[in-house]
Each structure stands twice: as C-alpha cells, then as structure tokens.
Amino acid sequence: MFVDPNTTDLEFYEDAMNYVVAFGITGIINFRLTALQTYLVQRATFRMTQTLEHLFPTSVFSQEAGWHDRHSSMGEIYLKKYMPPAEATKKAKEFRYPPKEQMFRLLMCRVKEKEIQNHSRKKMQMLISVQWRKVFNNN
C-alpha cells in the first residue's frame, strides 16, 4: 500500500476494512433478508469495494460472484415457503412420491420389464420356428 503513516489516519482505514468484512459476513449468513435489505446490502458492499479500490492500489475482490449464488438459493427458499407444494415441485423440477406409490411404480416397471422379456422370448421362438419351417419346406 502506498499510504504515508505520518499524514494518514490508519485507524480510519482499519475501521473501514473491519466494517466491510462484518457487513459482507452478515449479508452471507443471514438468509432471512427481504429483497430491499439484500439490495441495500449489495449496493453498500459494492460501493465500499469501489472506495477501497480507489483508496488502495491493491485490488479488493468483488463480491458479485457470491451474489448470484445467494439470489438463486433465496429463490428456491421462496418457492418452498410461499407456493403450494405441487407448484413448487414443478418449478424446482423435483417429482417425489409417497413410499407406497414409489414401490408401486418400481414394481410396475419390473412387471413391464418382465413382460418385455417374455414377449421378446416368444417372438424369438416364433421367428426360429418360422425359419425352421422355411428350411424344412424348401427341402
């Protein structure tokens, strides 16, 4: 850093850095913020990072990457909290069934697989018998 300790108040900069760190942590940990509060937190942290980048030649990491993750998780929480379960599952693309229905669907799939296997065996037997008939009829 190019800060002259004789002419600058270092305690001010330390307080500013602590404020940014504390502000960022509260924004990340507290998921119960309203939309307006999250917007204000984001704008404040963005302005603080701009100011610190302007004051110090060292680069301050931008927090925009974390904002997108937080917004997507907040959207999922909102869907689960305020929408009816059927709509929320459609939006979240999760289709879950009760255990009885899961077992029924699993058994029906197995029954269909067995039917397909039996059907293919019968079909193969018919094809073999037809081919054998052709062989015997030609001779």
DSSP state of 28: H
User: Domain range spanning residue 25?
Assistant: 1-96
Same structural domain, 45 and 10: yes
Question: How many structural domains does the chain have?
Answer: 2
Same structural domain, 102 and 92: no
Once rounded to an integer, what is the mean pLDDT over residues 21-34? Answer: 48
CA 62 to CA 66: how far, in whole Å?
9
Once rounded to an integer, what is the mean pLDDT over residues 99-107? Answer: 67
Same structural domain, 62 and 112: no
Going by C-alpha positions, the residue among 57, 34, 54 that lies closest to residue 46 is 54
pTM: 0.23
The pLDDT tens digits of the residues spanning 73-85 come to: 666 666 666 666 6
Same structural domain, 89 and 102: no
Please give the C-alpha separations between residue 21 and each of 50, 53, 109, in angstroms, as whole numbers.
14, 15, 54
Contacts of 59 (CB under 8 A, 6+ apart): 53
